[in-house]
Amino acid sequence: MTPITIVQGQLDAYNNQDLELFLSFFSDAIEVYSFPNKLIYTGIHKMRDYYKNAWELNPKQKAIVNERMFLDKTVIDKELVVGRANGIELNVIAMYTIENNTISKVFFIRE
């Protein structure tokens, strides 16, 4: 798989709220950051808990990619997150680092 197909695969699984498929695109040692370097959590188990809770609270939540760019093993998406329970839409930039055919790091910039 290419970095683009990996990132698109996780996005499709995210939008379908298919937790197991979603997690399959990430390294067991995934690191998730708030840009530039504030660590939010590490590890697939923490990611599982985070998204399980988020989707229980926001069962209609989806991410729409407005722009995508890539260079080598980095993919950057500009996304609009919609369908949240509170009705607020969020603009988000997500930067994915791909290593060994999985996403090893994600950096988020949120408004």
Contact 94, 86 (CB under 8 A): no
Q: What is the pLDDT of residues 13-24, one digit of tens each?
A: 999 999 999 999
Q: Which tokens go with 92?
A: 């988000």
Please give, one letter per residue, the 3-state secondary structure of 17-36. Answer: CCHHHHHCCEEEEEEEEECC
| 92 SS3 class | strand
Contact 40, 33 (CB under 8 A): yes
> Phi and psi (nearest 5°) for 58?
-135, 70
Is 41 a residue whose pLDDT tops 90?
yes
Q: What is the pLDDT of residues 70-95, one digit of tens each?
A: 999 999 999 999 999 999 999 999 99
Q: 């839409």: which residue's tokens?
A: 89
* Structure confidence at residue 2 as a pLDDT band (50, 70, 90): very high
Residue ranges and CATH numbers for the domains of the chain are 3-110 (3.10.450.50)
pTM of structure: 0.94
What single-letter DSSP state applies at residue 48? H
Is 111 a residue whose pLDDT tops 90?
no
